Structure 1
Amino acid sequence: MQIRNSSDWRDALPFELPVAAADAVPGDPTRCAGCGPESEPWPREALWVVKHRHPTNPAGFVRFYCADHKPTPKLAPAPAAAPERARRTRAASSAAPRKVAAPTIPERPAVFCPDCFVQVPATGVCGMCGTQVF
């Protein structure tokens, strides 16, 4: 049995990117995750919502933040570094000696007993009736 998450407004949020809470989900005032549970609730217009990645839940989890505690968005690495690295690995792999693949041994064709119609092992003797098959 596989447990699935229900679909709601959190699915539309991008991971690790702050979004205005009033735009994402309007509603009642709520507390900032950075201020703590004893703080006063903030109006949704003053909060940011961030969907974080979770190690065991692919849907992630959502937290509300005030402007003071809003995390900075995590940007993807620059794409210019990837082609250079690929060029280096290609050059290194072309300079290295190539291994020759081991020769493949063809499989023995399947032999069937003419009386029992079962496959005969490599010994040539049928396991059902004992007939010698060549």
Structure 2
Amino acid sequence: MKITASSDWRDSLAFDAPTVVSEIAPGEDTRCSVCGPASDARPRTELWALKHRHPTDHAGYVRFYCTEHLPVIDRKPAAAKTAKANAARAERKTATRRPMLSDAPLRALCPNCFVETSAKGLCGICGTQL
């Protein structure tokens, strides 16, 4: 049996990109995940949805935040990773390519055995000199 993830509105969210909750999940008033269940419910137009990365779940997880508790998104590490990947890609493009088998010089074939002859032009099977 293969277990697969279900698909829902959370899959359409980008990681670390705040989105107004009312645009992605309309419904009743809800609470900020930091304020907790004891706080008053707020309209979805006042809350932000933020999709976080998770170390073991590739789909991540989504939390709702009020404006006061919305985390600051640090975009520098992603930009640094992208720049590093671009530099590595450029380095691979400029690196010398490995010789292919088809680039090897062709040696003469023995007309009787159809095998490659030695550098001296001597067939190793039948002894024919080319």
Q: TM-score, normalised by structure 2?
A: 0.59
Aligned to 1:131: none
How many matched pairs? 91
Deviations 1:6-39 (A, max 9, x none): 1110000001111111111111111101112211
Q: Following the alignment from structure 1 to structure 2, what is the Cα–Cα distance between the partners of residues 56 and 84?
A: 27
* 1:7 matched to 2:7: yes
Aligned to 2:103: none
On the 8 A contact 1:17/1:74 being kept in 2, the answer is no
Q: How does 1:1-134 map to 2 (within 5 A)?
A: 1-75=1-75, 76-78=78-80, 82=84
State percent identity of aligned pairs: 50
Stretches of structure 1 lacking an aligned partner (at least 5 in a row): 91-134
The structural deviation recorded for 1:84 is 9.8
Aligned to 2:123: none
Q: Following the alignment from structure 2 to structure 1, what is the Cα–Cα distance between the partners of residues 32 and 67?
A: 9
Q: Following the alignment from structure 1 to structure 2, what is the Cα–Cα distance between the partners of residues 11 and 83?
A: 25
Deviations 1:34-62 (A, max 9, x none): 11221111110000001111111111111
Letter in 2 for 1:77: A
On the 8 A contact 1:31/1:40 being kept in 2, the answer is yes
| Residue aligned with 2:16, SS | coil
